[in-house]
Amino acid sequence: MVWGAGTAGAAGSRREAAGAAAFRERLAGVLQAEQDRWFLWTPVLFGIGIFAYFRLPGEPHLAAALMPVLMVLALASVLRRGALALVALNAAIAVALGFAAAKVRTDWVAAPVLERQLYRVEVAGFVEIVEPRPTRGQRITLRVTRLGRLAPEERPRRVRVRIMSAMPDLRPGDAIRIKATLAPPSMPALPGDYDFARAAWFSGLGGVGYATARPEIDREAAAAPWALRAAAMTQRLRQAIGARIAAALPGEAGAIATALITGERGGITAATTDAFRDSGLVHILSISGLHMVVMAGSVFFAVRLALAAIPVLALRFPIKKWAAAAAILGALGYLLISGNSFPTIRAWITISIVFGAIILDRPAIAMRNVALAALTVLALVPESLFDAGFQMSFAAVVALVAAYEMIRDRAERRRGERGFMLGPLLGFLLFFGGIVLTTVVASLAVAPFSAFHFHQSQQYAVLANLIAVPICNIVVMPAALATLVAMPLGLEAGPLWVMGQGIEGMLWCAFAVARLPGAVGRIPAFNELAFGLMVAGGLWLCLWRARWRLLGLAGLAAGLAAAPMISRSDILVGDDAQLVAIRGPDGRLTALAGSGSSYELQRWLDYDGDERSAGQATSASPGFRCDAAGCTAKVEGRAIAVTRHPAALADDCRRADVLVIPFPKPRGCNPPGLVVDFHAVRSRGTHAIRLDGGAVDVTTVAQSRGDRPWSGRQERRRRSVRPGYRDGASRLKAFAAPSELADALLRLRPEIEDGTELKPELKEGETDQ
């Protein structure tokens, strides 16, 4: 019996080994059959390495970041047999390179960041960017040469300042002095929310604030660095183009025309931006792939048509390649005058690769070109992986190219089966259904990203795009190209009039669709696991071509199933403990807010998928019982106390399970539960509290960010420094700024929207004067 059992066990082990070997052989065969698609996964794996770097709780040493690359290369020199080993090694190399690239980029752009708020400090520097604001004033970005008493190694490279009174004569490259109140870039409004400070770090922005006096031209300043002078020339050209547009096409149409030509969106009102966002047309306002394709495509066809009209050239030379080269140069010019924003740079790289493929006699519309463009962007700017524009633009392009490939392959198979009848029918359907198909595919592709980042879905985006996109492609963007051509001759008024008519049509469409009942759906936040499953499923579905691509549907379904599985905070405390919100029995937040808390509270409501405004969430507080000394509430059977006056501390410190104090906790106050005071929120950010049975689980913004260069010290002291006090030392003084050449090469202009560009208690749209 013992020998028989052993023999049976050995036979079972052999069968299992044989089954595993058969599975490996079959998997290797499938991968071998799709070898031409392997490269498409390179940017995905590269991005996984970038993601791993940014999710570390602490900053690794450069040597530690480069070590995985060396380890994988060492393994590659030993393990070279078999398709599976080759795939695994290539994947590991891509992940390791992505991790290393993110670390190198972080160190490359390192620059000091303010550690605390500075009041009415004198700032001297050179103007890099001047942005108009839709209400009043301007926003300027300064290359700092002097900031109070800060030493050069402690001084931020750039600061951004809001000026309440516009200065029409202020131009990029001007040396100015200004009195301003500055603060460090703001931390997220709640754990896991958008981190403006990280985006600011990679743009060299070390402080934001507002002016307390009008800027003065610094006539004693030295000459600006050559890189800044070169960049200022481009910025002045953009400013001049914007002024010419405003003169010929005033009003909202002119502001949108300026945005589409120069990339400057500061003049567009909030109401128009909201209408374009709610209707699903906000992508039209940001120069990206759509605008670059139309602009470069117009150059390509115009040059090719002009060359074809000259027989001696058309019959003897490759005029198609000449037109492609002209389109690349035209796209480069459009990039320079549009402000070098991330979406425009991505679009230029992609369109250059497409036209470069034409020059090299390669297929222009191919998934390999999309993968190469994504890999190029990630290698140069790894932090763009977390940019919503990067994710949504490449998601839409990947889905559209995959759909194009599927339709093309199916048409080629059926053409041989059914003769010539299907070809004309398919051509007819593609001609009239192309816009519908493109809009539906792109909308489905970007839907998970829109829900994850913005907690919204535009229900009538297909309808709006069916109306507005043809207007943009056929009328607006060709007229924009004609405007740029005619402007040196002073003849821009005619093309701008045509452009304005098209913009008016898009405005009508945006507002009409945004007003429809149920135009915007609110979606509660979901975790990164669900989002990652959706993204992985979509990539699997689009990047492979064999039938196993359908497994991607399982990933999408798993992501949708996991989306509701997120724990909601029962209590949120933010804004220096002045803002407190509790979750009521209906699952919605009720808040007690201090002055200037509306932005942070609105972020909380958006994260919850709550359509209410901040004012509505605070107008009635049914969960709180308040008097002059403070407020109390019951959450999950726990006593919550919000102390407003020291007179209430005696009772609150004795009875509260969760005590919130908007001033420093006094000695002798030792309640039985959790205390969140002014210093705790000021240093660690918003506290998200969950009451789980007998436990109290607290997550802070500082915990979710980790100890990274852009997060500052975990226990950052953000007390104010007033004139007469000595400015403190920066923890980042060890970081050396890159050279002028490196700064010129890497100076990109990300589209940073923080919503708190002024002092923390003064949000966008409010005034301090």
Nearest C-alpha neighbor of 182 from the set 161, 198, 203: 161
Q: How many degrees, rounded to 5, is the angle at CA 175 between CA 727 and CA 759?
A: 45
Instruction: For residue 28, give every residue at least 6 positions away whose Cβ sits within 8 Å of its Cβ, in sequence order, or none.
Output: 82, 83, 84
Could you tell me the pLDDT band of residue 36, with boundaries at 50, 70 and 90? confident
The answer, yes or no, to whether residue 747 has pLDDT greater than 60, is no
Quote the crossing angle between the two packed helices 461-471 and 493-514, to the nearest 10°. 170
The answer, yes or no, to whether residue 761 has pLDDT greater than 60, is no
Question: Would you call 134 helix, strand, or coil by DSSP?
Answer: coil
Percent of the chain with pLDDT over 70: 85
pTM for the structure as a whole:
0.84
- Work out the end-to-end distance of the chain between its first and last CA atoms, rounded to an integer number of angstroms: 94
Which element (helix H / strand E) includes 236?
Answer: helix 226-248
Question: How many CA atoms are closer than 13 Å to the CA of 19, on its beta-carbon side?
Answer: 6
Question: pLDDT tens digit string along 176-198?
Answer: 999 999 999 999 999 989 999 99
Distance CA 754, CA 769 (A): 21
Could you tell me the pLDDT band of residue 421, with boundaries at 50, 70 and 90? very low
The answer, yes or no, to whether residue 268 has pLDDT greater than 70, is yes
Question: pLDDT tens digit string along 578-623?
Answer: 999 999 888 899 999 877 788 899 999 999 998 888 888 887 667 8
Predicted local distance difference test score (pLDDT) of residue 733: 31
Question: Would you call 65 helix, strand, or coil by DSSP?
Answer: helix
Instruction: With beta carbons less than 8 A apart as the criterion, state whether 355 and 296 touch.
Output: yes
The answer, yes or no, to whether residue 737 has pLDDT greater than 90, is no
Distance CA 113, CA 205 (A): 8
Predicted local distance difference test score (pLDDT) of residue 495: 93
Could you tell me the pLDDT band of residue 767, with boundaries at 50, 70 and 90? very low
DSSP 336: H
Predicted local distance difference test score (pLDDT) of residue 726: 34
Number of residues that make up the chain: 769
Comparing 33-42, 147-156, 253-262, 336-345, the range with the smallest average pLDDT is 336-345
Which element (helix H / strand E) includes 556?
Answer: helix 551-562
Residue 591, beta-bridge partner list: 581
Nearest C-alpha neighbor of 342 from the set 286, 264, 297: 286
Which element (helix H / strand E) includes 210?
Answer: strand 205-211
Strand ranges (E), 373-466: 456-458
Distance CA 146, CA 126 (A): 10
Average pLDDT over every residue of 278-304: 84
Distance CA 443, CA 465 (A): 10
Distances in Å between the Cα of 643 and the Cα atoms of 404, 548, 664 are 62, 60, 11
Nearest C-alpha neighbor of 528 from the set 456, 457, 452: 452
Torsion, Cα of 146, 148, 153, 159 (10° steps): -60
Predicted local distance difference test score (pLDDT) of residue 123: 94
Strand ranges (E), 610-671: 624-627, 630-635, 638-643, 658-661
Distance CA 297, CA 473 (A): 10
Torsion, Cα of 612, 617, 623, 629 (10° steps): 180
Predicted local distance difference test score (pLDDT) of residue 555: 93
Structure tokens given for 576: 């220096």
DSSP 309: T
Question: pLDDT tens digit string along 616-656?
Answer: 888 766 788 888 888 999 998 889 999 988 878 888 888 88
Question: pLDDT tens digit string along 549-573?
Answer: 999 999 999 999 999 888 889 999 9
The answer, yes or no, to whether residue 81 has pLDDT greater than 80, is no
Distances in Å between the Cα of 180 and the Cα atoms of 144, 146, 415 are 13, 13, 70
Distance CA 20, CA 189 (A): 50
Average pLDDT over every residue of 297-316: 89
The 10 Å Cβ neighbour count of residue 700 is 22
DSSP 174: -
Pairing state between β 695-700 and 687-692: antiparallel
Question: pLDDT tens digit string along 40-73?
Answer: 999 999 999 999 999 999 999 999 999 999 998 8
Question: pLDDT tens digit string along 458-513?
Answer: 889 888 988 898 898 889 989 998 998 899 898 999 999 999 999 999 999 999 99
Residue 759 backbone phi and psi in degrees, to 5 = -60, 155
The 10 Å Cβ neighbour count of residue 747 is 16
Question: pLDDT tens digit string along 434-446?
Answer: 777 788 888 889 8
Question: Would you call 364 helix, strand, or coil by DSSP?
Answer: coil
Predicted local distance difference test score (pLDDT) of residue 443: 85
Distance CA 570, CA 588 (A): 10
Question: Which DSSP string do the residues of 97-130 spell out, in sequence order?
Answer: HHHHHHHHHHHHT------S-EEEEEEEEEEEEE
Nearest C-alpha neighbor of 38 from the set 89, 99, 102: 89
Alpha helices, DSSP H only, in 588-637? 598-608, 614-619
* Sole residue written with tokens 């190219």: 401
Distance CA 84, CA 386 (A): 30
Predicted local distance difference test score (pLDDT) of residue 620: 66
The answer, yes or no, to whether residue 741 has pLDDT greater than 90, is no
Instruction: For residue 404, give every residue at least 6 positions away whose Cβ sits within 8 Å of its Cβ, in sequence order, or none.
Output: 365
Distance CA 537, CA 544 (A): 11
Predicted local distance difference test score (pLDDT) of residue 138: 87
The answer, yes or no, to whether residue 448 has pLDDT greater than 60, is yes
Pairing state between β 658-661 and 674-677: parallel
Q: How many degrees, rounded to 5, is the angle at CA 19 between CA 13 and CA 23?
A: 145
Determine if residue 146 is left, alpha or beta; phi over 0 gives left, psi from -120 to 50 gives alpha, anything else beta.
Answer: beta
Predicted local distance difference test score (pLDDT) of residue 422: 47
Question: pLDDT tens digit string along 368-408?
Answer: 888 988 999 899 999 999 988 889 888 988 998 898 888 87
Percent of the chain with pLDDT over 90: 39
Which element (helix H / strand E) includes 651?
Answer: helix 649-655
Could you tell me the pLDDT band of residue 716, with boundaries at 50, 70 and 90? very low
The answer, yes or no, to whether residue 546 has pLDDT greater than 90, is no
Structure tokens given for 669: 């106050």
Residue 659, beta-bridge partner list: 641, 675
Distance CA 323, CA 314 (A): 11
Question: How many CA atoms are closer than 13 Å to the CA of 653, on its beta-carbon side?
Answer: 14
Distance CA 144, CA 154 (A): 11
Q: Which amino acid is at 394?
A: F
The 10 Å Cβ neighbour count of residue 723 is 12
Instruction: With beta carbons less than 8 A apart as the criterion, state whether 566 and 581 touch.
Output: no
Predicted local distance difference test score (pLDDT) of residue 727: 35
Strand ranges (E), 72-197: 118-132, 138-147, 158-163, 175-183
Exposed, middle or buried, 546 (CB in 10 Å: 0-12/13-18/19+)?
exposed
More confident residue, 201 or 26: 201
Distance CA 588, CA 608 (A): 8
